[in-house]
């Protein structure tokens, strides 16, 4: 893996939002808050800071996250940082997001029941066989861009 990798552990701030590209590619967006607590050496008082991250997952991972995780769940996310820039009403906007390779519940203060999903089309990753979305499996070759004209990988 390249030098652009990140792992965070935090709580989901909003329910995952599952969407599909026009070609049927699943993607999910969610927010994760990461809390950091430390003791100030000079005063001896405890300090706290929270960082908020937007996380995007694709394909079967997106469908599994949507089906398995909700707001408040503590998760472990690994992926890469990616910056998107666009123009809105004449103003240039930019955001840095985490494109997830893996998302899992943290078992530090909770338990989870893992259910393996059926694989689709011979994929190596997990499928959404029992997801009940009532749609056909996506094409074997994913589309090169998402709803915003960005590459999904």
pLDDT on residue 94: 92
The pair of three-digit structure tokens given for residue 93, joined into one six-digit string: 């906007």
Does the pTM exceed 0.85? Answer: no
Q: Is residue 138 part of a domain?
A: no
pLDDT at 13: 97
pLDDT at 129: 39
61 found inside a domain: yes
The answer to the question of residue 117 being in a domain is no
Number of domains in the chain: 1
pLDDT, position 109: 87
DSSP H helices in the chain: 59-68
CA distances from 33 to 8, 72, 99, 135 (A): 9, 10, 16, 32
Site of tokens 């996380």? 55
The parent domain of residue 28 ranges over 6-105
For residue 30 the two structure tokens come to: 């969610």
The pLDDT tens digits of the residues spanning 93-110 come to: 999 999 999 999 999 988
CB 14 within 8 A of CB 70: no
Domain containing 94 — which CATH number?
2.40.50.140
Residue 147 falls inside a structural domain: no
153 occurs within a structural domain: no
- Give me the residue label for tokens 């960082």: 51
Residue 47 placed within a domain: yes
Please indicate, yes or no, if residue 45 is contained in any of the structural domains. Answer: yes
Tell me, yes or no, whether 63 lies in a domain.
yes
Q: Show the low-confidence residues of the chain (pLDDT under 70).
A: 1-2, 119-153
For residue 150, what pLDDT is reported? 53
């Amino acid at each position: 893996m390249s030098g652009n990798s990140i792992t965070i552990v935090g709580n989901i701030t909003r329910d995952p939002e599952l969407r599909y590209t026009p070609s049927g590619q699943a993607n999910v967006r969610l927010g994760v808050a990461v809390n950091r607590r430390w003791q100030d050496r000079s005063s001896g008082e405890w300090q706290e800071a929270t960082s908020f991250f937007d996380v995007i997952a694709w394909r079967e991972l997106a469908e599994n996250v949507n089906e398995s995780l909700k707001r408040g769940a503590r998760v472990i996310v690994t992926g890469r940082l990616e910056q998107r820039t666009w123009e809105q009403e004449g103003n240039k906007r930019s955001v840095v997001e985490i494109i997830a390779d893996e998302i899992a519940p943290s078992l530090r203060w909770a338990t989870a029941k893992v259910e393996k999903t059926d694989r689709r089309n011979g994929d190596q990753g997990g499928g959404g066989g029992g997801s009940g979305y009532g749609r056909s499996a996506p094409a074997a070759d994913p589309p090169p861009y998402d709803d915003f004209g960005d590459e999904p990988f």
